[in-house]
A and B are shown apart, each in its own frame.
Chain A
Amino acid sequence: MEDNIKKMSDETARLAKDAAENARKLGGAWETLKQIEEVEIATSKKELVWNDGKVRLFRYSSDARTEKTPLLIVYALVNKYEMMDLQPDRSFIRNLLDQGHDIYLIDWGYADRSDRYLTMDDYINGYVDDAVDFVRKAHKLPAIDLLGVCQGGTFSVIYSALHPEKVRRLITMVTPIDFSTEDGLLFRWSRNLDIDTIVDGFGGVVPGWFLNMGFDQLKPLGKVRKYSGFVNMLDDKDKLLNYLRMEKWIADSPDQAGECYRQFLKDLYQQNKLMKGELVVGSPVDLKNLTMPLLNIYAAEDHLVPPSASKPLNVLVGSKDKQLYEFPGGHIGVFVGNRSQKELAPTVSKWLKA
């Protein structure tokens, strides 16, 4: 009995101390937070070289350029491109710049009601094609390199199939192609959604918060999970800044032009037309037209775009030179993880230089 009393005393005292320690950390949060004046992301220098309405084309500044063929990055309409340049020591873009690449990037801006009728045709055969033409002319080249990310990867694949003569090499990262997969919740949920009601109900512009609500639900306890880790970083400014940068990026979720969203969800998520060869974006999209060298990168633990949605691209294209690259991480880790900096960016650079 004496032993039991001692054990209970120890355990109760430990619980009390743990509670007090957590309370102290919470109380000290203000002290750490007040040292943070700005949470900056995407700080690599860049220059605006072209724009059409809200869509802007940037060229990244660099003293290390050695590559003659420029690389144009096409990011998704969902969230913002800043993830690729989150902070100096976690920047996929900075890493490529250091390897001598000349990088352009399309910033889609923030769609509003005036953009509600923009279609996939407008985005792909309009904005992407205009940006590609601008870079081609600026460099006096018939074709340039294209790198598409997530939905931007799907756009790049479609673009490359429609305009193969303008794309020298294609890189896709965490890109959905086969939407019939059973592995991702987004793919399953989309089959039970009434897309027309969603687009029309939101007045033609699908809000970013609505998309984020769905993404949050993929990891339903994500915010709660963050809590225990967050308390432990409250007295570490650097860790806290890393956390805040990521939170800033996550929260910055642009609204979606309704017509483009409608076609993307109905034709791809629900009817898988790209895989079936039935997709029409201005004209029919035949993936066999895609004959340029292809590097298809997917993330092994991607919960947004599972490997089974990305991998089939290599089977469908007409390219003879095609590579499939598995990155051991998640959808976001591809850009910000330590391994990405050490391994992925150098691999992409090496492939481009080969």
Chain B
Amino acid sequence: MQSPRDHEKTGYFKGANDMESKNNAAEAWADSGKKAFENFTDTSGKIAESLKNGDLLKTGTDIYRDWLNTQKNIIESAISGGSKAATETTANTNGSPEPAENKTNTAANPFPSAVPEKAAEAFTELLNMQAKAVQTWLDTVKQVSATAIEAVKPATPEATQNPFAAWTDMYQKWNTVYSDLLNTTGSQFKGTSGGFNAFPGFTFPGAKVPAYDQFFAGSQAYAKLAELYQPVFANWQKYMQNTGSTPVWDAEAFSKAFSAEKVRELTDKLFQFTSPDKFKELYADFSKQTEQYTAAWKQYATGSSEQATKFSENWKKFSSDYQEQSAGLSRHFPKVDYNSFKEFNDFGTKIAEQAKQAYAPFARLIPAGKEKDNMEAAEKIQQKLGDYWNGYVELQSIIYASTRKAMEKVIAETGEKFKAGEVPKYDDFYNAWVNKTEADLIKTFGGDEFSRAQGKLLTIGLEIKQMLDKQAEGYLSVLPVLPRSEADELTREVHDLRARVRRLEKALEAKENYSSAAVNGTVTETAEDKASKKSKSKA
């Protein structure tokens, strides 16, 4: 019996299961994080209360000093405890993944023994990130407190002229701190150097994308939208300034109260789009490959045995590099990502044209055979890459048009609420944006234009993948490995044989059943009998 994939045995948070002590390093880290958040929340509450009471000038300095002192203690305690734990963890991994005996310290290795070498790295990384996050709060709250104090100072000429400027500034800073906070919290789980990502428990069984990556992509969109809410709120503030004397509702200003660039960035976050740099990298990979290939042939064409030896060496190097590069290339395809690169489309077409001009005359020297096939395939792939960029830009422009229109509607509706004296909560704004954008996108996705563009892009991407696979097989043919196409032929043979055995078994069984039923006088006509009769009568 073939063993099924046993997901049940996969601990969801294996890292957590492996923890041996409540007082270990990871606990210390989590505890410090919790305390830091509590301190942040507590301080926010105090500041908000002071703002309402109008006594921030009097209490602001005390609030800030308390917050700073508490925060300092938390960080110092976490870093000293954490460094100790990390050092001991590292020591434990030298020769033994288990905690050293006779140690009285309870900071045992908090990570799965399967990846001990990553433990210290991951823990240090977490502490650094946490310290960075806390530093961000510290700086921002300091600024917020200072701004707020300025705002309520009654006598400064600036405040008299425009008391709202300081408020606007303060609100923007709050937005920034929140956005930074989410990003930093997200990166705590994601990791930057691979330390935490090495833990198997942080990926859903069977999932290609780590769950936390998915979740924090959502949180980043949440934070990104805050940047779009900010000018809306600022407009409201402007409106409020005017209502005291001459009420002016500037609907146009509201509808323009967001930047198209930010909507695009938000859309990128939504779809977790790749960056233009990845495409450049992809194209560079491919150009390098073609360059090496033509260089190898150039040497071969000069004819000397010395050159032939060089060719052979270059060929080996090229084969090895090719495998590495094509693995990189294959990873990029076929992913339907959306991004804006009109300029990259032009760039791709130009490069393909130049490459073609460079090696087309040269290809005449190459005799027919696998090498020539590969050369021609390389050219086709470059052409296809150009087509891919075209399709990519087309699809992406459809998506951007849809998300931008949705945002315009949301901003206009929110503006109406402000005008009516209602101040929507950020979450309300967020939910309105989610609902409107999704409804519009679904409508767009249901259109022929999107469906055709999507189908075309997918086809081109997979055609490129097929070409790369074929090329890879060509290069592998000189090595003692079984290529996929041959393995597939064997698989087909096995499949056909199994199907034949199954048909024979069923026919035999049917015959036995028929005989037995005939003896008992209970014969009934089966579907197979009917089909058999039909085919006989046709014959």
* Residue in contact with B206 in the complex, picked from A31, A33, A117, A251, CB distance below 8 Å: A251
Closest residue of A by beta carbon distance from B221: A224
CB of A170 to closest CB in B, whole Å = 15
Are B164 and A19 interface neighbours, CB within 8 A? no
Contact code string B139-180 (vs A, CB < 8 Å = 1, else 0): 000000000000000000000000110010011001101100
Chain B residues, Cβ within 8 Å of A20 = 40-41, 44-45
Expressed in whole angstroms, the Cα–Cα distance for A189 and B244 within the complex equals: 55
Are A34 and B491 interface neighbours, CB within 8 A? no
Closest residue of B by beta carbon distance from A198: B462
B405 CB–A CB distance under 8 Å:
no
Within residues 186 to 230 of chain A, which ones have a CB less than 8 A from any CB in chain B? Answer: 188-189, 191-194, 197-198, 200-204, 208-209, 213, 217-228, 230
Are A16 and B48 interface neighbours, CB within 8 A? yes
Expressed in whole angstroms, the Cα–Cα distance for A11 and B426 within the complex equals: 11
Q: A4-B241, A23-B40, A188-B446 given as contacts; is B33 within 8 A of A253 (CB)?
A: no
Expressed in whole angstroms, the Cα–Cα distance for A118 and B222 within the complex equals: 44
Contact code string B436-458 (vs A, CB < 8 Å = 1, else 0): 01100110011010011011101
* Residue in contact with A23 in the complex, picked from B4, B41, B448, B494, CB distance below 8 Å: B41
* Residue in contact with B37 in the complex, picked from A13, A16, A27, CB distance below 8 Å: A27
Measuring CB to CB, which residues of chain B are less than 8 angstroms from any residue of chain A? 1-2, 4-5, 7-8, 11-13, 16-17, 30, 33-34, 36-38, 40-41, 44-45, 47-49, 51-52, 54, 163-164, 167, 170-171, 174-175, 177-178, 181-182, 185, 204-209, 211, 214-215, 217-219, 221-222, 237, 240-241, 243-244, 270-271, 334, 336, 423, 425-427, 430-431, 434, 437-438, 441-442, 445-446, 448, 451-452, 454-456, 458-459, 461-463, 465-466, 469, 484, 487-488, 491-492, 494-496, 499, 502, 506, 524, 526-527, 531
Are A7 and B185 interface neighbours, CB within 8 A? no
CB of B521 to closest CB in A, whole Å = 15
Q: What is the number of contacts between chain A and chain B, taking CB atoms within 8 Å?
A: 250
Within residues 95 to 125 of chain A, which ones have a CB less than 8 A from any CB in chain B? Answer: 107, 109-110, 113-114, 116-118, 121-122
Closest residue of B by beta carbon distance from A226: B218
Chain A residues, Cβ within 8 Å of B5 = 109-110
Chain B residues, Cβ within 8 Å of A113 = 487-488, 491
Interface residues of A toward B: which range?
35 or more
**Of listed A23, A39, A222, residue having the most chain B CB within 10 A:** A23
CB of B490 to closest CB in A, whole Å = 9
Are B164 and A193 interface neighbours, CB within 8 A? no
Chain A residues, Cβ within 8 Å of B524 = 165
A1 CB–B CB distance under 8 Å:
yes
Q: A15-B171, A221-B437 given as contacts; is B427 within 8 A of A251 (CB)?
A: no
Expressed in whole angstroms, the Cα–Cα distance for A116 and B494 within the complex equals: 11
Please name 27 pairs of A and B residues whose Cβ atoms are closer than 8 Å in the assembled complex, sorted by A: A4-B244, A7-B240, A11-B423, A12-B167, A12-B174, A14-B48, A15-B171, A20-B40, A20-B45, A23-B41, A27-B36, A51-B2, A109-B2, A109-B5, A113-B491, A114-B491, A116-B491, A121-B499, A129-B506, A192-B451, A208-B206, A213-B336, A224-B221, A228-B222, A248-B204, A252-B7, A252-B205
Q: A15-B174, A20-B44, A189-B451 given as contacts; is B30 within 8 A of A31 (CB)?
A: yes
Expressed in whole angstroms, the Cα–Cα distance for A203 and B36 within the complex equals: 51
CB of A172 to closest CB in B, whole Å = 20
Closest 8 CB pairs of A and B: A201-B462, A27-B37, A192-B455, A20-B44, A13-B48, A251-B207, A227-B218, A117-B495
CB of B165 to closest CB in A, whole Å = 12
Chain B residues, Cβ within 8 Å of A238 = none
Q: A15-B174, A201-B463, A252-B205 given as contacts; is B430 within 8 A of A34 (CB)?
A: no
A126 CB–B CB distance under 8 Å:
yes
Chain B residues, Cβ within 8 Å of A254 = 206
Given contacts A4-B241, A20-B40, A219-B442, 4 further A-B pairs with CB under 8 A are A13-B49, A34-B16, A116-B488, A248-B12
Chain B residues, Cβ within 8 Å of A347 = none
Measuring CB to CB, which residues of chain A are less than 8 angstroms from any residue of chain B? 1, 4-5, 7-24, 26-28, 30-31, 33-34, 36-40, 51, 53-54, 56, 107, 109-110, 113-114, 116-118, 121-122, 126, 129, 162-165, 185, 188-189, 191-194, 197-198, 200-204, 208-209, 213, 217-228, 230, 244, 247-248, 251-254, 283, 289
Expressed in whole angstroms, the Cα–Cα distance for A40 and B466 within the complex equals: 39
CB of B394 to closest CB in A, whole Å = 13
Are A54 and B2 interface neighbours, CB within 8 A? yes
CB of A114 to closest CB in B, whole Å = 6
Are B434 and A221 interface neighbours, CB within 8 A? yes
Are B445 and A34 interface neighbours, CB within 8 A? no
Expressed in whole angstroms, the Cα–Cα distance for A224 and B48 within the complex equals: 29
Chain A residues, Cβ within 8 Å of B217 = 223
Are A117 and B491 interface neighbours, CB within 8 A? yes
* Residue in contact with A54 in the complex, picked from B4, B13, B494, B496, CB distance below 8 Å: B4
Are A251 and B218 interface neighbours, CB within 8 A? no
Q: A19-B178, A200-B466 given as contacts; is B30 within 8 A of A30 (CB)?
A: yes
Expressed in whole angstroms, the Cα–Cα distance for A36 and B48 within the complex equals: 35
Are A224 and B222 interface neighbours, CB within 8 A? yes
CB of B265 to closest CB in A, whole Å = 14
